[in-house]
Amino acid sequence: MKLTIDQRWDIIDKIAKQTVTFGEYKHTLKDAIGELTIKPLTGVPIAIAVMYAFWSIFGSFAGTLFTDGFMVKLFDGYFLPWMQDIFPGAGGWLYYIIVGDPLADNCFEAFGMLTSGLFVAIGVVLPAIFIFYLMLALLEDMGYMPRLAVLIDTVLHKIGLHGYAIVPTILSLGCNVPGVTATRILETRKQRFIMMTLLAIFIPCGAQIGIMEEVIPDTMGWVLLYLIIGYFIFGYILNKIVPGKSPEFLIDVPPYRKPMLSNLTKKVWGRIAGFFKVAIPFVLLGCGIVNVLYLAGFIDWVGNVLSPVFVLWFGVPEATAGPLIAAFLRKDLAVAQLSVIEMTPYQMISAVVLVSIYFPCVATFAMMIKEGAKELLGALAVLFAVVFLYGGLIHLIGILMGVA
């Protein structure tokens, strides 16, 4: 027998009366905090405070406390002199590749595989991504991330995404690889393409942020501001030109919970383990390859060939060619290279932004291939257009401001 809609609802009501019991609801402090963090009037200021605390802890722990307070002293004071003394053939090509400049007094300027390579990976990047993933795991486990997704939903709709897009965005601030993987939570191909493209171009990973915190702390805010502006400008453009739908989303907002140590440990270790397996080998390999290219004269040749583009269009020195090549392997390594090139503060801002929006690192590139060849080719086409247009625009802004 076919039932009408009203008859179906009557049956549902009867079943509900027999199975559901209602108790007295007590409004707790946890409920009140949950409501405050999800309503725009109070939730937005709280979100800003949370992100500010996130950033302050990140900078204080990773940069000041651990890297400057311990690792710099260890590597520059003991490890670098020891490597320069024990490794044979000072001044030779093998010494240059493995140890770097024999006259360097710090690991950043040495730029050898076992000096700068290990210092960048372990002394700067490792503490940065550790504290980043620990704080992210705390926010996830306590239930704050769904509330942040609800708050940011209206803004992200302007670029064809919805609130849950904040999850791959924040994950990419740790590493672009899990960020690209997390784009699968978005419903349509259009949303996944926009998200993957924006992550590959405008979101710096925790390793790169850690290096920027170390080498350009005074101008880092300008770099991040340019990247955030580009994220929304080109996201808006992509939403207009990429065909497809951007549907609404439903999200379950759980109550706040006490974080569990076992969950935090598993999440942090799982993400840190990936860094040891992928990032450290690529940093060392990147140092070696770039040093070989310098010795072969290839970097100087590229700089000379592309000099009109670098100098006239982007407003950066020819020597930026080396870091751009290294950026394909590791962008944190590329930023470390930029720090030893002589340039003005605004040129440094432009160069770091250029490295950030330039070709994604090889690990992200491999993950993008898995997401689909068609999407990868489309993302690369957008990337080249963004690099040329946005890089030139940043230079133009510097000229108009009189600082380029």
Extract the residue ranges of the chain whose pLDDT is less than 70.
1, 23, 25, 63, 249-250, 329, 362-363
Return all residues near 391 (Cβ < 8 A) that are at least 6 apart. 313, 314, 350, 353, 354, 357
Q: Is residue 344 part of a domain?
A: yes
Residue 22 has what pLDDT?
72
User: Residue 352: is it exposed, middle or buried by C-beta count within 10 angstroms (0-12/13-18/19+)?
Assistant: buried
Residue 351 has what pLDDT?
92
Q: Is residue 10 part of a domain?
A: no
Residue 227 has what pLDDT?
95
Q: Is residue 263 part of a domain?
A: no
Q: Which residue has the tokens 């993400």?
A: 271
Residue 340 has what pLDDT?
82
Q: Is residue 257 part of a domain?
A: no
Q: Is residue 16 part of a domain?
A: no
Side-chain-side CA neighbours of residue 85 (13 Å): 6
Please answer whether residues 350 and 392 qualify as being in contact, where contact means their C-beta atoms are separated by less than 8 angstroms: no
Residue 63 has what pLDDT?
67
Q: CA-based Rg of the chain, rounded to a whole angstrom? A: 24
Please answer whether residues 185 and 158 qualify as being in contact, where contact means their C-beta atoms are separated by less than 8 angstroms: no
Which tokens in the block code for residue 15?
Answer: 């079943």
Q: Give the DSSP letter of residue 341.
A: S
Residue 229 has what pLDDT?
94
Please answer whether residues 141 and 153 qualify as being in contact, where contact means their C-beta atoms are separated by less than 8 angstroms: no
Q: How many domains does the chain have?
A: 1
Residue 1 has what pLDDT?
62
pTM for the complete prediction? 0.79
Q: Is residue 262 part of a domain?
A: no
Q: Is residue 11 part of a domain?
A: no
Q: Is residue 255 part of a domain?
A: no
3-state secondary structure of 295: helix
CA–CA dist 25, 243 (Å, integer): 47
What is the DSSP secondary-structure string of 179-200? HHHHGGGSSSHHHHHHHHHHHH
pLDDT digits (tens, 9 = 90+) for 52-93: 888 788 777 776 778 878 888 999 999 999 999 999 888 899
Domain of residue 326, residue span: 33-249+277-401
